[in-house]
Amino acid sequence: MTSTSTAGATPPYARETWRTLEPYHGAVYFSPEAQARYGELGSAGQAAYFASRSAALGPAPAELTAATFYNFNPVAVHAALPAAWDAAPPAAFLAARLRGIDATLRRVLGADITSERLRRAAELARRAAEAARPLLHGRPLFAAHAALPWPDEPHLVLWHAQTLLREFRGDGHVQALLAAGLNGIEALVTHAATGAVAAETLRTTRSWAPQEWARAADGLRERGWLTDEAEPALTSEGRERRAAVERVTDRLAAVPYTTLGPDACEELRDLVRPYSLALAQDLMPWAVERLGRSL
């Protein structure tokens, strides 16, 4: 019997499965079809992102969305909410999001959306996502999305399953960051210092000003996380602390995958990998090389 405990070491296949499936969910944030649907509701850009992703919470105030999204500048969230709810109710954003990703998946995957391969992938991913359902405590975004009805068609079942798995992991990641003493902008600065993503990309997409970023970096230097260079790297202590955050995140996210088991996770990765790559090539061409290595 597979244990559902979050204690102990995390098998590598759990993180690998999340990485392989993540572009299938993440496509919605780059989908021109989804953006067009949000535009019909009078929302665009970052405001549409905040509204569409937080809509599962209901007409959430900016404070709740900022708390759950964590590393975005709260000023940007307040600029979007609650104004978006004046334009359209959360249910309209949820419907627009689902219609948008449906159109994107149909365009990019074509006839594959009716294949036995995709149906099997949806079955496995749903099984993994439903294994997380008893673990709602402390996971507000996951709980809100888990309360939504399942779509009927396999390509959307797979997308919704990965949405749940992504928010399940994300809520746990916030807990790990808090336990490590990192606020939202500090989490971004340490992530940039790993070299995984450019600092300017993280700063601008999360709406932080250069001076705010610099203050956060100075504070992290004083606490021993960062080196003294103009473009800082993690110190040896910082690398270990950041690695510890990832270990805790992996442990808190493991249950869906350990419940599924290593063989089924390997099958799921093999099934979804070509879909994730196709979506990345179409919507995120700048990240294809990096994604390809991690898939």
Report pLDDT digits (tens) over 66-111: 999 999 999 999 999 999 999 999 999 999 999 999 999 999 999 9
- 19 CB burial (10 A radius; 0-12, 13-18, 19+): middle
- For residue 288, the cross-strand partners are none
Q: Is residue 228 part of a domain?
A: no
Q: Is residue 216 part of a domain?
A: no
Q: What is the pLDDT of residues 13-43, one digit of tens each?
A: 999 999 999 999 999 999 999 999 999 999 9
Mean per-residue pLDDT, 187-211: 96
Q: Is residue 193 part of a domain?
A: no
Please count the structural domains in the chain: 1
Say if residue 6's pLDDT is above 80. no
Percentage of the chain lying above the pLDDT 90 cut: 91
pTM listed for this prediction? 0.93
Contact (Cβ atoms closer than 8 angstroms) between residue 121 and residue 63? no
Q: Is residue 271 part of a domain?
A: yes
Tokens of 35: 């953006």
E strand residue ranges, 150-255: none
Alpha carbons within 13 A on the beta-carbon side of 52: 28
- For residue 226, the cross-strand partners are 234
Q: Is residue 159 part of a domain?
A: yes
Residue 8 confidence class, pLDDT cut points 50, 70, 90 = low
Q: By residue range, what is the domain housing residue 110? A: 12-145+154-179+245-294
Q: Is residue 1 part of a domain?
A: no
H-only helix segments in the chain: 12-26, 32-40, 45-54, 62-69, 74-80, 83-87, 90-109, 116-131, 140-146, 154-179, 184-193, 199-205, 210-222, 236-252, 255-260, 262-283, 288-294
Q: Is residue 219 part of a domain?
A: no
Q: Is residue 41 part of a domain?
A: yes
Selected residue with higher pLDDT from 9 and 152:
152
Q: What is the pLDDT of residues 141-180, one digit of tens each?
A: 999 999 999 999 999 999 999 999 999 999 999 999 999 9
Question: For the chain, what's the residue count?
Answer: 295
- For residue 234, the cross-strand partners are 226
Say if residue 194's pLDDT is above 80. yes
The Cα 260–Cα 248 span in angstroms is 20
